[in-house]
Structure 1
Amino acid sequence: MLAPLALAGCSTDNMRLFHPVGLMGGLEYHYTMWITGIMLLIIVPTVLMTIIFPLRYHHSRNAKYTPDWHFSAVIEILAWAIPLGMVVVLAYMSVSAIYRIDPWTTPALADAPGASLPPVKVEVIATDWQWVFVYPDENIATIDDLVVPAGRRVQLTMTATEAMNGFYIPQVAPMVDAMPAMISKDAFEIDQPAEFTGFSTDFSGAGFSWMYFKTRILAQADYDAWVKSVQASQNQLTYDVFTQKIAQPQVNYGAVPSYFSAPNAGSLFGKVVMDAMMGKTYPVPDSLTKSVSSTEGEAPASPAAK
């Protein structure tokens, strides 16, 4: 039980799940701790009995020998009632958690400070191996940089071009899979400016190790200024640019962000979903599967960042 602390140097600073921020992250931590604690009520006694019984009943201890014993009402009750009760409690906790943090309806955010404000909509497209964030209302897009305002609900709609990836910001939002030809959702709200790291939880090939992104929470005024600066970008993310350049398999070493104005941002996400439904793929070149440098300084820049 002490092994995780030993591996972490007796500190939880690098265990981001233990430092949740925002309501969604806090609920995830709350239910995780409760469910873990309930399961330990079964695991710890079982481990102790596994150690104690062989020691107590070893032939060298001359323990009482009762070959005709076959039934104990107390043991039967304990062996069945306690696990059954634990399963009922775990089921209740799990179902409660699922409904409270359901990203499609976000009931947990109904009473959040930003509930009365219009949500920020971000369409997330997972490629091999980058995260593309499209802002349909602002007509902008970014790569590997999720920027949202503090104090407003963020609604994420997700899909993927080629392989399934798990979208996860441990301190902020529950993990949700982004899958080709499918639409999934996630949501969160952070009330103070901050910065976090998000990443993919599903191994998806050669560039998986570099498939992470910044999550920046800005004050509303700073966010508005950032949006205007990206809208003025000369780089435009059109459907053709996306399919011919962005969606092509590439490793963005160091998760270098890119920014685009996107005049048709509202239609890009739907086209990507439809392409995947129609069987469109982006094959990975053999060169990427055979030689992917792990040294950032030696790695070529992502084509999308040029």
Structure 2
Amino acid sequence: LMLIVVVPVIFLTLYFAWKYRASRDFEIYTPKWAHSTKIEAVVWSIPILIVVSLSVITWRSTHALDPYAPLEGQGEHLTVEVVSLNWKWLFIYPEQGIATVNELVFPANKPVAFKITSESTMNSFFIPQLGSQIYSMAGMETKLHLIADEPGTYKGISSNYSGAGFTGMKFNAIATPTEDDFEAWVASVKQSQTSLTSGAYEQLAEPSENNPVTYFSKVDDGLFHNIVMKYM
């Protein structure tokens, strides 16, 4: 688009320098000339068309990459509620009734809808190989939609500094080869003897660093909603 302006300017500069050179004294020169409707139309219409074109491209691409927009044409999604704590990640699976700390598991080729909030300072939920980051903030629910095209283990981090234990806020995002593999993992989590009650959550929310992976076989109903609302 820039060449639409640059090329004519360079061409006309060279053309006028040649056309009105000193040796061509027969050319007509009108020093009092002040207006041309045709030139005004060209000078204004080209920038307007460029701005309109860029506006359309920006609008479409921005909305196409909206992290809040569900992934279309990918089938039913898995919902995961994410809470950033000092200094660990809590993942709640409301449909499965389980929760984990510092381990995220989901089937490959299945869209995952993340609902994200924070118990404390602002963090940033980020799995670089899968997509963009999104901030987690107390009293607010942000959203992100991702999908893993291939099974594997992807590294997840916090990309926003949040205090002393920030560097330890890492987790594995594991995309299982099949839905059955994911269900088998869910069944193994349900073998845990630990439940995530409101009281257990308050203990979990206490600041701690380099936390190991932890499984919770049960989660209090509405826990994520209560975490968001406690700061509203």
Q: How does the TM-score come out when normalised to structure 2? A: 0.74
Matched, 1:110 2:38: no
Residue 127 (structure 2) aligned to one of 154, 169, 188: 169
Q: Which amino acid aligns with 2:96?
A: E
Aligned residue in 1 for 2:193: 234
Q: Is the 8 A contact 2:117 2:138 kept in 1?
A: yes
Aligned residue in 2 for 1:258: 214
Q: How does the TM-score come out when normalised to structure 1? A: 0.57
Please list the CA deviations of residues 142-166 of structure 1 after superposition, one character each: whole Å capped at 9, or x if unmatched: 1111100122211100100111111
Q: Is the 8 A contact 2:131 2:146 kept in 1?
A: yes
* Superposed displacement of residue 216, structure 1: 0.4
User: What is the alpha-carbon distance in structure 1 between the residues aligned to residue 59 and residue 79 of structure 2?
Assistant: 27
Please list the CA deviations of residues 25-47 of structure 1 after superposition, one character each: whole Å capped at 9, or x if unmatched: xxxxxxxxxxxxx9xx89xxxxx
Q: Which amino acid aligns with 1:127?
A: L
Q: Is the 8 A contact 2:89 2:171 kept in 1?
A: yes
Please list the CA deviations of residues 273-292 of structure 1 after superposition, one character each: whole Å capped at 9, or x if unmatched: 11122xxxxxxxxxxxxxxx
Please list the CA deviations of residues 83-103 of structure 1 after superposition, one character each: whole Å capped at 9, or x if unmatched: x94x76665444323311323
Identify, as 1 or 2, the structure richer in helix: 1
Identify, as 1 or 2, the structure richer in strand: 2
Distance 1:125 1:89, change over 3 A: farther
Matched, 1:121 2:79: yes
Aligned residue in 2 for 1:223: 182
Aligned residue in 1 for 2:33: none
Show structure 2 runs of 5+ residues with no match.
4-41
Q: Which amino acid aligns with 1:270?
A: H
Aligned residue in 1 for 2:231: 276
Residue 144 (structure 1) aligned to one of 95, 102, 106: 102
Q: Which amino acid aligns with 1:187?
A: H
Distance 1:138 1:96, change over 3 A: same
Q: Is the 8 A contact 2:69 2:145 kept in 1?
A: no
Matched, 1:206 2:164: yes
Show structure 1 runs of 5+ residues with no match.
1-37, 43-76, 278-306
Aligned residue in 2 for 1:180: 138
User: What is the alpha-carbon distance in structure 2 between the residues aligned to residue 212 and residue 95 of structure 1?
Assistant: 34
Aligned residue in 2 for 1:281: none
Give 1 or 2 for the bigger CA radius of gyration.
2
Q: Secondary structure at the match of 1:174?
A: coil
User: What is the alpha-carbon distance in structure 2 between the residues aligned to residue 178 and residue 239 of structure 1?
Assistant: 20
Q: Secondary structure at the match of 1:190?
A: coil
Distance 1:128 1:97, change over 3 A: farther
Please list the CA deviations of residues 87-123 of structure 1 after superposition, one character each: whole Å capped at 9, or x if unmatched: 76665444323311323332xx2123xx2xx311100
Distance 1:90 1:142, change over 3 A: farther
* Superposed displacement of residue 190, structure 1: 1.9
Please list the CA deviations of residues 143-202 of structure 1 after superposition, one character each: whole Å capped at 9, or x if unmatched: 111100122211100100111111111121221111100011001122331111111111
Q: Which amino acid aligns with 1:236?
A: S
Q: Is the 8 A contact 1:148 1:216 kept in 2?
A: yes
Distance 1:250 1:90, change over 3 A: farther
Aligned residue in 2 for 1:288: none
* Superposed displacement of residue 237, structure 1: 1.0
Q: Which amino acid aligns with 1:111?
A: G
User: What is the alpha-carbon distance in structure 2 between the residues aligned to residue 89 and residue 141 of structure 1?
Assistant: 47
Aligned residue in 1 for 2:114: 156
User: What is the alpha-carbon distance in structure 2 between the residues aligned to residue 149 and residue 170 of structure 1?
Assistant: 18
Q: Secondary structure at the match of 1:276?
A: coil
Q: Which amino acid aligns with 2:156?
A: G
User: What is the alpha-carbon distance in structure 1 between the residues aligned to residue 58 and residue 160 of structure 2?
Assistant: 23
Percent identity between the two aligned chains: 34
